[in-house]
Amino acid sequence: MLTLRSITESIDIDYFKFNLNFHKYIEDKLKQDKFKTTKEFKKNLKRRIQLLSCINGTCPDLLKFFINDDYTNYQEDFTNEDLVDLVNKFSDDEPIKLSVNLIVYNEERCIERCLSSLLTFADEILVLDTGSTDNTTKIIEEKFPQVKLFRDKWRKDFAYSRNILIDKSTNDWILSIDADETPIDEFHLIKDVISLFNNFKADKDHPLVFSPTIDSLGQKINTTKRIFNKTHEMKFDGKIHEEIVSKNEKEINYIMLSLTLSHDGYHPDVFKEKNKAERNTEILEKMIKLEPNKIRWYYFLGREKNILGHDIDECIKILKSGLKLKHTQNSIENFYYNILTLLAKISVSHKKYDLLKEVIELMEYEIPNSLDAFYFKLILENDSVMSDKFLQINNMVKSIGDISNKVNTIDETYSHILHTLGLIYLSFRDYTRAFYYFNQIQSQKNIDAIKEILLPLKNEIDEFMKK
């Protein structure tokens, strides 16, 4: 029989250490075997499973650490004592201290909410005010004396301001957030999750960053890199929609987390009040002139102009210009796919089905197993078929004109016609026309038939609304 020592000598222990399935296997096996362990051990194992469950994605280079099944080759060789020993070895993570950085401007609406939520886990909070004219700084000074408040003029450069705070932070690990974001649910676990990786072996060649989930009015994004170690020579890049990058131009490894920041800054009322879209558009147009080969600027500019309601063909042109940069230096693959997704959404909302077909083909070429491509194909098939049928039905209805003076031998009340037209428009989700026809039905037989169709829908709708 192989020993624990021989196994862990032949395989890097990190391949076990961060494997959620392996930890669940340990928990199940010890429980199944009724193996006696201490309360502290059970607590540590349960805690580790909880922390590893916060990881919901990673870059390809790190994937092997989280989903590998190498341990299955040694299941029969592991004794229960070995498994306990491994968990004890895994649980020696050193705690970390975390600095939280914010740049603010006229944030009296949300600054108190944000800072209050940070106090539960932040070891240090640093705020850079860029010229607020409201009560933002007054709220900070009066209600949050522990916050380190700095002031600097707005230079139309988000990266510049964020980099000031990096230099002023006294802790190695930094979380960069905005005032209109609020940590929710289990975000207080963030330091414990980071501690798992404080000495992560794979981090030596490539800096490691974390991407929490950003919930922006129900749209969840987990690709925004927010948490990093300043000792790894990290800085922000970009005057707007800034990204954390390595000063030494090293490729960054990232881990995506389910831990969530709620973001309400793009609520229509807030967005309009702060003129964010106009501000963003101005800076983005400058960035395209400064860095014409960076695909990210074309994505963000197309997105902002679409939000502002600019000519849709102009938005499409900008986004297509970005697609041409896929193979240029400094292009970022994620943004290429983001452009495709945005173009697909625009195509659907503006019924540009030829463009949608083109985008779907590119999606399938880039990612053969893309569920996004499948989703948009479903919409394309449904919308194109339904729109053609809808047009045909409308033309038929117009052509028949007034039904009261037509030859009719089936039902003198025309209920059969009204019944059928109502059902057709119901299938098109044109409820106004559907009930226009339903309400004219006089035949009790047809009324009862309609009720049989509508009553289950009411029940299903009621059940759905309860969720």
CATH of the domain at 360: 1.25.40.10
How many whole angstroms from its chain centre is CA 159? 22
| Structure confidence by residue, pLDDT tens digits, 383-396 | 766 666 767 777 77
Helix (H) or strand (E) holding 129: strand 124-129
Residue 440 has pLDDT above 80, yes or no: yes
Residue 301 and residue 281 in contact, taking contact as beta carbons nearer than 8 Å: yes
Assess whether 333 and 199 both reside in one domain: no
> Domain check: are 281 and 213 in the same one?
no
Identify the pLDDT of residue 330.
43
Say whether both 215 and 192 belong to one domain: yes
Residue 27 has pLDDT above 50, yes or no: yes
Which residues face 176 on adjacent strands?
101
Same domain, 142 and 28: no
Q: Pick 227 or 382 by higher pLDDT.
A: 227
- Residue after which a domain boundary falls, among 70, 90, 110: 90
For residue 61, pLDDT over 70 is answered with yes
Residue 329 pLDDT class (50, 70, 90 cuts): very low
Residue 364: pLDDT band by 50, 70, 90 thresholds?
confident
More confident residue, 220 or 342: 342
The predicted structure's pLDDT at residue 7:
56
By mean pLDDT, which of 109-123, 200-214, 339-353, 404-418 is the weakest? 404-418
Cα–chain center distance at 379: 21
Residue 4 has which token pair? 């624990």
Pick the residue with more confidence: 303 or 5?
303
The DSSP output letter for 91 is T
Indicate whether 393 belongs to any domain.
no
Q: Is residue 113 part of a domain?
A: yes
**Model pLDDT, residue 388:** 67
3-class SS string, 168-207: HCCCCEEEECCCCEEEECCHHHHHHHHHHCCCCHHHCCCC
Whole-number average pLDDT of the chain: 86
Tell me, yes or no, whether 223 and 175 share the same domain: yes
- Secondary structure letter of residue 11 according to DSSP: S
In which band, very low, low, confident or very high, does the pLDDT at 331 lie, cut at 50, 70 and 90? very low
Q: Look at residue 272 and tell me whether its pLDDT is greater than 70.
A: no
For residue 1, the model assigns a pLDDT of 47
243 with 367, same domain: the answer is no
| Average of per-residue pLDDT across 191-216 | 86
pLDDT digits (tens, 9 = 90+) for 215-264: 887 778 888 899 999 998 899 988 888 889 888 878 889 999 999 999 98
Only one residue has tokens 């807030």, namely 270
Given this model, what pLDDT does residue 188 score? 94
**337/133: higher pLDDT:** 133
Question: 139-153, 232-246, 362-376: which has the minimum mean pLDDT?
Answer: 362-376
Alpha carbon 219 to chain centroid, angstroms: 6
Confidence at 198, pLDDT banded by 50, 70, 90? confident
Same domain, 317 and 352: yes
Q: Do 166 and 23 lie in a common domain?
A: no
* Listed residue (408, 419, 407) closest to 443, CA to CA: 419
Residue of 310 and 135 predicted with greater confidence: 135
More confident residue, 279 or 183: 183
Number of domains in the chain: 4
pTM: 0.70
Same domain, 448 and 374: no
Please list, in sequence order, all residues whose beta carbon lies within 8 angstroms of the beta carbon of residue 393, skipping any fewer than 6 positions away: 424, 425, 428
**Predicted local confidence at residue 327, as pLDDT:** 63
pLDDT at residue 461 greater than cutoff 70: yes
Give the least confident one: 65-69, 87-91, 134-138. Answer: 65-69
| Domain-embedded: residue 287 | yes
Q: Is residue 270 part of a domain?
A: no
The number of CA neighbours under 13 Å toward the Cβ of 128 is: 23
The CA-based dihedral angle spanning residues 333, 338, 343, 349, taken in that order and rounded to the nearest 10 degrees: 170
Supply the pLDDT for residue 386.
64
Q: Identify whether residues 256 and 227 lie together within a single domain.
A: yes
Please, where are the H alpha helices in 262-407? Answer: 268-273, 276-290, 295-307, 312-323, 333-349, 353-366, 371-400
C-alpha to C-alpha distance for 275 and 148, rounded to whole angstroms: 28
